[in-house]
Structure 1
Amino acid sequence: MQSNTSHPMTAIVYSDGPRFETVLREVTAAMADQGMRLAGLVQHSRPNPDRRKCDMLLQDLAMGELHLISDDRGAHASGCVLNTDRLLRACETAQAGLSDRTDLLVLCKFGKAEAEGGGFRTLIAKALELSVPVLIGVPLINLSPFREFSAGFAREIDVTEFGIDWRPVAADLAPQI
């Protein structure tokens, strides 16, 4: 699999996390139905009764497994509930499903963990090493750190353009499909 060499990464920029989450799940399901070999992680946020924060789960696109990556920190918790150890384990599992036969690595978010130097960065590096193109969601708030990380090797698409028809994006990323 050869990626678009000028832009091996595509960032889907968004400001509405729940809306983007839904769009990405729908698009990855359609891609898989079209025969694309996907690896990576998409998020499923599940409301938690009597809690301000939702449960965060990552679905491994190659294996279908769900990984809980959040901690229940109580009813009044308002800060980050991400469990970085669980995130790391989910990344390791996703990396096991990544190979040079993968058409596309899909990642739900370049979030705080990635902006701080962790999270999905190792998984992205492995994909690029294998010449597997990367599709990643980038919240508007993290666009500047993403641009610094990607160093000009990513193109940016607004979620509204991506959600209308994902096929041109996928064809550009993985032209053999």
Structure 2
Amino acid sequence: MSPLAGILYPPETDIDGLLATVARHLAERGVRVGGVTQLRDPQKGLSVVDLGRGTIRAITQNLGPLSTSCKLDTSVMADVAGDLERQVDAGLDLLILSRFGIREIEGGGFRSLFGRAMLADTPLLVGVRTEHAAAWAAFHGGLGTDLPPNEAAVLAWAEAIPATAGTGFVSGTASS
């Protein structure tokens, strides 16, 4: 089983809820989980939730009601990415990222974290909308695993990866 997995999901799927649930279940078993999910608020915009700390950070900026520019605050995204890199460097059993989306396809966003996690032998789980499946496949070049948006399947993957990735947990429980 590959230590790199993408959950391929249709747009109506609550991928952030699924990822948060998986992270919570694994953390309850002693797995050191880090990463982020997204949170949308009609008034505040888009935020990320740090899965390890529970903190919430806005990642969009208010450009005014007539703006057609991207509202993503790239400086905040860079700060979040830097924090996640430090978490990987400090030692995680699993890094979860909410999306492999347009920014990552274009070479930005959290894409650098994929390489950082792989170099640190940290398994990585990411949400991938089905419309981005071809770009995801091209990105991982056969080194990744595609998962359905199903909690049991994702947890089964997480429990199977230690033999491949050398993480600190076996069969879903942490080892000392």
The CA deviation at 1:80 is 3.8
Task: Give yes or no for contact 1:17–1:139 (8 Å, CA) kept in 2.
Answer: no
In 1, the alpha carbon distance for the partners of 2:152 and 2:3 equals: 22
Matched, 1:14 2:9: yes
Task: Give yes or no for contact 2:20–2:51 (8 Å, CA) kept in 1.
Answer: no
In 1, the alpha carbon distance for the partners of 2:90 and 2:81 equals: 17
Task: Give yes or no for contact 1:46–1:56 (8 Å, CA) kept in 2.
Answer: yes
Residue number in structure 2 paired with 1:40: 35
Task: Give yes or no for contact 1:104–1:174 (8 Å, CA) kept in 2.
Answer: no
Q: Which amino acid aligns with 1:12?
A: I
In 2, the alpha carbon distance for the partners of 1:76 and 1:126 equals: 38
Structure 2: give runs of 5+ residues left out of the alignment.
Answer: 164-169
Matched, 1:163 2:158: no
Taking the TM superposition and a 5 Å limit, the aligned residue runs for 1:141-156 are 141-156=131-146
* TM-score of the two chains, using structure 2 as the length reference: 0.83
Deviates more, 1:12-21 or 1:76-85: 76-85
Residue number in structure 2 paired with 1:135: 125
The CA deviation at 1:167 is 2.5
SS in 2 for 1:57: strand
Residue number in structure 1 paired with 2:46: 56
Task: Give yes or no for contact 2:35–2:84 (8 Å, CA) kept in 1.
Answer: yes
Task: Give yes or no for contact 2:147–2:153 (8 Å, CA) kept in 1.
Answer: no
Number of aligned residue pairs: give it: 165
SS in 2 for 1:64: coil
In 2, the alpha carbon distance for the partners of 1:148 and 1:23 equals: 25
Which residue, out of 95, 98, 110, partners 1:108?
Answer: 98
SS in 2 for 1:23: helix
Structure 1 residues 8 and 135: alpha-carbon distance in aligned structure 2, compared to 1, 3 A threshold:
same
Q: Which amino acid aligns with 2:162?
A: A
SS in 2 for 1:99: helix
Give me the CA root mean square deviation. 2.1
The CA deviation at 1:105 is 0.7
Structure 1: give runs of 5+ residues left out of the alignment.
Answer: 49-53
Of all paired residues, the percent bearing the same amino acid is 25
* TM-score of the two chains, using structure 1 as the length reference: 0.82
Deviates more, 1:94-103 or 1:142-151: 94-103
